Structure 1
Amino acid sequence: MLLFRSLSHAIAALSLSVAVPLAAASAPTTYSLPQLIQHQGRYSLIVDGEPFFILAAQLHNSSAWPQMLDSAWQSIDALSANTVEAPVYWEQFEARPGQYDTRNVDALIAKARATDKRLILLWFASWKNGQMQYAPEWVKSDPETYPRQLDEHGLPLDNLSTFAPANLNADRRAFSALMRHLKKVDGDAHTVILVQVENEPGTFGAVRDHQPAADKAFAAPVPADVLARTGRSSGSWRDVFGVDAEEMFNAWSTARYINSVAQAGKQIYPLPMYVNCWLRYKDKKYPGMDYPSGGPTYNVFDVWRSVSPAIDFVGTDLYTTDAAEFRKVLGQYHRPDNPTWISETGFEPGTAPLLYEVLAHGGIGFSLFGIDNPPSDTQSATVAAHARNYSLLASIDTVVARSIADGRLKAAIETPGQPRQTLDFGDWRVTLSFGPPPWGSSPAILPNSPDVDGRAFVIRLGNDQFLLSGVDVRAAFERTLQDGKHGQLIRVEEGRFEHGSWQTHRWLNGDEVDYGINFHKEPALVRVKVGTF
C-alpha cells in the first residue's frame, strides 16, 4: 500500500542517541585523535568519539591571513558550514630556514574555536596546483641547492625535483615543525581534524622529470611494491607499462616523495592525512598538459597508493555541475581502499544538488572552494543555494554520519528524463517523484521539476521510523512485505534538531500527506513513523 512522508513523535530514542554524544563533547572527556575507520565496507571519519560528516567551506588561496579572517568568515557563517579548509603557506611558515612563524596557523585555530568550527589545514609546500608557487624564497632563488625538474629538452620546470634529497628534506622539516606545533596547541582540543599534504601535486610542462637521477631510476626495474599492487611482471618502466610508462613513473616518484613528508609529520602527530587530486576527467587525456602528471588520477591510482601508506585517502577536486560526470568520478574514487571525499567543488548554485550524490555514495564529506567572494547578487544566490543544504544537514551531522556508517542512509538526486526514483529499505521502499504538482495526484507521465534541482535523503532510524528531507521532491512510502498486512502512516512530524534534541514544529496530516510529502525549495526535516493494519 502506498504511504507517504511521515515522521514519528515516538522517536525519543533518536533524540537520546544524538543528545548524549553532543553533551559529552562539551564535558571534560579525553578523546583519541581523529581517525579514519572502515567497517563493513563503509568509511567514517571519527572525531571526538563520534562519526563526523564534513560540510566544509574552503577559503580562497590568499585568505588565510589573520587580517582576512573576519571578512572571510562571514560567508562561512552564512553557509552554516561545520568545517573550514584553509591553507598553510610554506613561504610564510618558514620565511627563513629553520625559523617557523605560527601566527597564521594560530589565528585560524582561534577563529575556528571562537565560531565552533573544525579545521582542515592544507599544506601548500612543494606543490600547489602542479607548481611550486608556495615554496619559500630561499628555495626558489637557489636552484643549485634545491633543483627543479627538467623537461625532455633539459629546460627547468616550475616544480621541485622529487629526486633531490635537499628538496624532500626541506619539506619534511617544515611539515614536521607544523605538526609539532599542532600537537602542542591542539593535541587535546582537536580543532584540526585533517591535514591535506601538498595541493594537487604533479608536473606541468612534461610527463616526468628528466634530471639525471630521474633518468637513471626510469631505466631501472620497476620497484617490487608497484609490481605487487598492479599485478605486473618485472622489467623496466617502459617494459612494464609501455606507452604509459612515464606517467606511471612520475606517479610513483611523486607519491613516494609526498608519503615521506606525511610520514615525518605523522611520527610527531598522527592526524589523518590525505592528498587532493587535479582530476583526469572531462575528456582530458594528456598528462603534463591537460592535468598535472603524477597526481593520484584514477588511471595511476594503484601505482600511487603502492608507495603512500602514510596517506590515509585521496580526495577529488571535482568541478562540474553535470550530474553524470560527477557520478562517474565518484565511482572511480569510491573504492574498497578509498572513501568518497569531495575535497573541492565549485562554489556555484549548480553544485548544490551534488552534495546528495556524496550522501548516496556513503561519503565522508563535501567542500566548497572559494566561498569568500565580494558581496554581489551572484554571491548571495550561491550562498543561499548551498545554505539550504548545509544548514539542515549541519543540524543533524552526527545522525547523518552515524547512519552512513551503519548503511541506513539512502539518497538520490534528480536526473533529466528520470522523474521517479526508488530507495529500497527492504520491507519498505520510498518512491521519490521530482515533477508532481504541489498537491494532488500525479499525472501518468511526470515531467522533471522546473529547475531539475531535486534531491532527497531518507534515514532509517528504526524498524518503524524514518527521517527525511529534500528539495523539489515528493516522497511516498510503500510496504513491500507480502504477509497480508497493509502499510500506513502512524505519525508525520515536521521539526528540527536543536542541540541534539528533536523539536517538533507541527504534525502533518490530511492534505499534507494524502498524496505523499512534498518538499519545496526550502527543505524541511520530517520524522515518520509507519505501521501496519
Structure 2
Amino acid sequence: MRTKYIVLALFFLFTVVSQAQKTPYLQKKGTATQLIVKDNPYLILGGELGNSTASSLEDMQWVCEKLQKMKLNTMLVPAYWELIESEEGKYDYTLVDGIIELARKHDLKIVFLWFGVWKNSMSCYAPMWVKENYQKYPRAVTKSGQPLEILSAFSQNNLELDKRAFKHFMNHLAEVDKTQQTVIMVQVENEIGMIEDARDYSKEANKLFTSEVPKQLVDYLVKNKQSLRPQLLDRWEKNGFKTKGTWTELFGEGLETDEIFMAWNYGLFIQEVAQSGKNAYNLPMYLNAALNSRGRKPGAYPSAGPLAHLLDIWRASAPAIDFLAPDIYDPGFTDWCKQYHVNGNPLFIPEIRLAEENAARVFYAFGEHDTMGFSPFSIESVTNPEEYPLTKSYKILRQILPLLSEKQGEGKTNGFWFDSEQKERTIERNGYTFTFKHDYTLGWNPQAKDGNKWPETGALIIELSKNEYLVAGTGVVVTFGNTKKDGTQTGIGIIDEVEFNDGKMRPLRRMNGDQDHQGRHLRIPAGEWSIQYVKLYDYK
C-alpha cells in the first residue's frame, strides 16, 4: 500500500512539474488561432516600445508604470543583438533580465522582438565586430554593384552568426523564464525586406536566380494550387503552371519575380534561425511586415518581406514561423486586417501608428477578426496615459477578454469601424438584423453637421444567446429588426449598461427612456465608452 501512495505522489509531482514547464503555444479553436499561456487563452492588449527605449533600465521603470496605468497586459520589447553580444561569443543579459523583472513587478507579459541580422531591412543592430568585418560577413548588393548596410541572406557566415546568437538568447529565456512565463512570444527580426532593389544582386544571389526553382517550392505550389494567393497564382498561371525551370521561366520577367525569389531565400534563412531558437525554447514565433502601400513597387517598399501576397512563399520556405503580421501605418485599416486574416493565418497587429483612432479600431480587430492582439507603436510616448482614448478601450476589453476568448472561432462576434466615409453596416444573426451606425448619423451632435471630419468610432458585438447580446465600444448607435416575412416586429426588451468582474456580469444601470430613445436603439455616444447588454423580443 505504501508503494502505491509513493507511486501516486510521484505521478502527481511529475504532472505538476510538467504543467508548470509547458511553454506558451498556439492552438486552433474553430476558425481562430489562440495563444495559450499556462493552459489559458491569452489575448494581447499591447503596446510596442520605441526602438531605443528598452536600452535603458532606468527608462523602463517609468515605462512599465505608465503601461500599467494604460491597462496594457503586454509590452512588445526589442532585444538588441549589438548589446547582448557586443564582443563575439560573450553574452550579457543584464538588460533582458532587468526588463523581465520589471514586467513581473508590473503584471505585464513580454513579446520580445529579436533585433538581429535585420531591422527595418537594414543590419543596424549587428554588433560592430560584424559590421566592420564585411569580407567575412558580406552585404547585399544593388543591381549597380553598390554594397548596402544589409547583411546578405546568401551568406552562410551571416546565417551561422544569427542562428548562434538567437539560439543563445532563446536558451537564456528558457533558463530564466520557463516557469513564470513572462515572455509569451518572440518576433524574429523586424520588417525584413530589400530596399533600393527588389532583390540582392550579389554573386551568390545571381547564381541561384538563374538556377532552377527548388523542388520544395514547386511541390508546395502544386499541392496548394487551389488556395494560393491571387498574385502568385496569376504569375504562375501566365507562365503555363510550369513545374520545372528557372525563376523567370516559372514566374516571368520583372520585379515581382525578383521579389518572389528574394522572399524564398529570406525564408530559408529565417527558417534556420527560428528553428535553432525553437530547439532551445519552443515559444510561438512570428514575422512582421512593412507593408507594400501607396502604390509602390518592390524595392521602393521593403521587397520580399512577410507580406500578405507572399504568404505562400514564406509558408513553404519557413514553416517554423507560426504566422505573418502587418505593421499598419497607412490608411486602409480594415483592408489590411482582411489581407492578413486569410488562409489560416491569424491576425495579430504588432505595430500600428500611435493615434487616438486606435481606440475605435481595436474593437473591430477583436470582434471581426478574432485577433490575437493589438499593439500601437511607441506606446510610451503617450502624455496623458490615464485619459488616453485607447486606455478607455483597453479598460473595457480587459473586462470581457475571458468572454471573447470563449467565443473566438465560433462565429459569435462581429466588429464595426466607422468614419466620415464608412458610416453604417448591417449584419444578421439568428433571424435578427443589427444595423450599426456612426453615432453622428443621428445628427444630435453639432459636429455631425458642421462639415468637420467625423471621428473614428467602433464597437464589437458578442452573441450570448439567440436573443441576448453584448455591445462594447465607443460612438455607435444600433437598431434592431428581423428577417421574418409575417409582420413580426422586433423590440428592445432590456438594455443594461454592465461591467464584468472575474468573468461575472453585473448591471450598472438600466438604459431606458432617453438613453434608448424610448426603445428605438442602443447608443454609446461618441467620446464615451460602454459595455451594454441587450435582450430582444418579438411582437405583432
What's the TM-score, normalizing by structure 2? 0.85
2:39 is equivalent to residue 49 of structure 1:
yes
Secondary structure, aligned partner of 2:380? coil
2:395 is equivalent to residue 391 of structure 1:
yes
Whole-angstrom CA distance in 1 between matches of 2:422 and 2:187:
37
Quote how far apart the aligned CAs of 1:42 are: 2.4
Aligned counterparts, 1:398-413, within 5 A = 398-413=402-417
Q: Deviations over 1:432-478 (max 9, x none)?
A: 232344889xxxx9999972422121101223321112222112333
Segment of structure 1 superposing worse, 90-99 or 395-404: 395-404
Whole-angstrom CA distance in 2 between matches of 1:364 and 1:80:
17
Quote how far apart the aligned CAs of 1:326 are: 1.8
2:197 is equivalent to residue 191 of structure 1:
no
Instruction: Specify whether residues 450 and 248 from structure 1 end up closer, same or farther in structure 2 by C-alpha distance, changes over 3 A only.
Output: closer
Which of the residues 341, 344, 355 maps onto 1:337?
A: 344
Quote how far apart the aligned CAs of 1:297 are: 2.1
- 2:508 maps to a residue whose letter is H
Q: Deviations over 1:159-187 (max 9, x none)?
A: 11112111111111111111111111211
- 1:522 maps to a residue whose letter is E
2:123 is equivalent to residue 98 of structure 1:
no
Is the CA contact 2:26–2:34 (under 8 Å) kept in the aligned structure 1? Answer: yes
- The equivalent residue for 1:308 is 318
Which of the residues 362, 369, 372 maps onto 2:370?
A: 362
- The equivalent residue for 2:501 is 498
Which of the residues 294, 302, 318 maps onto 1:292?
A: 302
Is the CA contact 1:280–1:298 (under 8 Å) kept in the aligned structure 2? Answer: no
Is the CA contact 2:41–2:405 (under 8 Å) kept in the aligned structure 1? Answer: yes
- The equivalent residue for 1:85 is 76
Whole-angstrom CA distance in 1 between matches of 2:530 and 2:452:
18
Is the CA contact 2:361–2:457 (under 8 Å) kept in the aligned structure 1? Answer: no
Quote how far apart the aligned CAs of 1:381 are: 8.7
Whole-angstrom CA distance in 1 between matches of 2:411 and 2:452:
29
Which of the residues 471, 477, 484 maps onto 1:468?
A: 471
Aligned counterparts, 1:401-480, within 5 A = 401-434=405-438, 435-437=440-442, 451-480=454-483
Is the CA contact 1:419–1:446 (under 8 Å) kept in the aligned structure 2? Answer: no
Is the CA contact 1:417–1:448 (under 8 Å) kept in the aligned structure 2? Answer: no
Instruction: Specify whether residues 211 and 53 from structure 1 end up closer, same or farther in structure 2 by C-alpha distance, changes over 3 A only.
Output: same
Whole-angstrom CA distance in 2 between matches of 1:348 and 1:415:
14
Secondary structure, aligned partner of 2:199? coil
Which of the residues 527, 530, 536 maps onto 1:524?
A: 530
Q: Deviations over 1:11-34 (max 9, x none)?
A: xxxxxxxxxxxxxxxxx9747322
Is the CA contact 2:496–2:534 (under 8 Å) kept in the aligned structure 1? Answer: yes
Q: RMSD of the alignment, in Å?
A: 2.6
2:68 is equivalent to residue 58 of structure 1:
no
Higher relative contact order (CA 8 A, sep 6+): 1
2:164 is equivalent to residue 173 of structure 1:
yes
Which of the residues 180, 184, 209 maps onto 2:200?
A: 209
2:112 is equivalent to residue 121 of structure 1:
yes
- 2:246 maps to a residue whose letter is S
Whole-angstrom CA distance in 2 between matches of 1:489 and 1:153:
69
Is the CA contact 2:31–2:409 (under 8 Å) kept in the aligned structure 1? Answer: no
Aligned counterparts, 1:108-187, within 5 A = 108-187=99-178
Instruction: Specify whether residues 317 and 453 from structure 1 end up closer, same or farther in structure 2 by C-alpha distance, changes over 3 A only.
Output: same
Quote how far apart the aligned CAs of 1:384 are: 1.3
- 2:132 maps to a residue whose letter is S
Secondary structure, aligned partner of 1:133? coil
Is the CA contact 2:340–2:346 (under 8 Å) kept in the aligned structure 1? Answer: yes
- The equivalent residue for 2:227 is none
Quote how far apart the aligned CAs of 1:420 are: 2.9
Whole-angstrom CA distance in 2 between matches of 1:405 and 1:89:
36
Whole-angstrom CA distance in 2 between matches of 1:137 and 1:451:
49
- The equivalent residue for 2:249 is 239
Secondary structure, aligned partner of 1:372? helix
Segment of structure 1 superposing worse, 478-487 or 354-363: 478-487
Q: Deviations over 1:234-289 (max 9, x none)?
A: 1111222221322211111111101110000111211110000011112111x22x
Whole-angstrom CA distance in 1 between matches of 2:421 and 2:97:
50
Taking only the aligned residue pairs, the percentage that are identical comes to 32
Whole-angstrom CA distance in 2 between matches of 1:415 and 1:228:
45
Instruction: Specify whether residues 138 and 527 from structure 1 end up closer, same or farther in structure 2 by C-alpha distance, changes over 3 A only.
Output: same
Secondary structure, aligned partner of 1:267? helix
Which of the residues 27, 34, 42 maps onto 1:37?
A: 27
Whole-angstrom CA distance in 2 between matches of 1:211 and 1:339:
35
Whole-angstrom CA distance in 2 between matches of 1:372 and 1:507:
37
Unaligned runs of 5+ in 1: 1-27
Which of the residues 505, 509, 518 maps onto 2:512?
A: 509
Quote how far apart the aligned CAs of 1:152 are: 2.2
